[in-house]
Structure 1
Amino acid sequence: METELFKNKTMSSLEIAELTSKQHAHVMRDIRNLLSQGVAESNFGLAEYSDNQGKPRPCFNLTKKGCLILASGYDAVLREKIIDRWESLETGKAEPMAKQSLTPSELILQLAQFNVENERKMKALESKQEQMQAEIEEIKQRTTTDLHQSTIVAYISRNSIKLDVSRYGAMGRKASALCKKRGVEPTKIHDVRWGTVKVYPDEILDVVFGMGISNIN
């Protein structure tokens, strides 16, 4: 009875790696080198398999001719192993190959890639949470029942004032100076984007912005 592999007339690069005790990455490299030299792609079908983590990884399904072409670049012992495998497939005596196991180096590399991917996802999640918190704080500032005091950002946003963010600091210093002159102590709040920011009475900000942005030093 024909095995499934012989029925499909292919042998996977994973099998070849196990037969030859080579790393699968090295077998893939050897096949790509052959393809770059102009060997017919019809003998090397690109496919996928699932690794130990269930992630799709590339592999090749080789025809008998493809296997012999690949084996021609290996030493006599490895060529014999590949030819013996084909003979056992043709006679129906082939035993299923064990699932390809990762070498220690491949396992370390895979674990490192897994950790990097997890760290990237965690940073993206933290950034998104910070952005959401910032939006919530801004909404609080814009919808508070006490509209008689605001941060520079909230005042600009609520009044639809167009001002480059690089000028926010100048406006804050002007507002602080005016508060000091009038004996007013601005309160402080924590903002996830800007850190500790001051909240000024709107009457102060009305004067500051009423002076005209062009006059801010």
Structure 2
Amino acid sequence: MSSREIAELTGKRHDNVMADIRSMLSELKIDALTFQGIYLDSMNRQQAEYLLDHEHTDCLLTGYSAAMRMAVIKRWRELEAQAARPMTQAEITAANANHLVAVERQQREQQVALERIERRVEDLSQTTVWDHCPQNCQSLTRIKETMLARHGLSGAVVDYVLKVWPNQPNPAGMVRNGHEEALGSQYLVWSKSHVTAAFHRFVSESTMVTATQATHPYFEGRFRLVQKAQS
């Protein structure tokens, strides 16, 4: 059962259901990516969801109210009943058509993801590597500290703006990690001016819902925002 369907059945917000699932899987020491899927929303944008089996759905529901649990239990019974009885020819035709649509959608999503990865690899292959971080650049850790202090943005929102958002700033280059235990690894850095401009745009495009909560057209769910950028 998808996290979206669980949200619809329980009346909870989808982002809250996803947070509950991540918390549950963390306690079970299971990588959340094991259950993660991708769907296209009404604006044809890729969004994340979780696809749980019966066992993990039951586990999730233990923390929900009786009314919420009952709604999901009834839905599971409907699904099991549908699976138990023979399908009519019309249902078989509809199921085949839905499967074909799902396969085509998945192929499109995989192609988009592949193209994004290929562009990323190409960009990284041409990336400059420094021994020390230039003064006009910042690492991901430093950017998270800056945006938390400036706008109250969480690390998850910063990751989204830098790595997923369609208007994400390109990395300026990579820096060799000088620590001995790093074993010669490298980390990305971004131009301070590009980062400032990107977050100014992201924050300016956001809509305040409460005094400290906002939404953005490309970000699913609410996020903390304590100071909107001035236009």
User: Which TM bucket (shorter chain)?
Assistant: 0.3 to 0.5
TM-score (norm 1): 0.38
The structure that has the greater radius of gyration is: 1
Q: When you count helix as a share of all residues, which structure comes out higher?
A: 1
TM-score (norm 2): 0.36
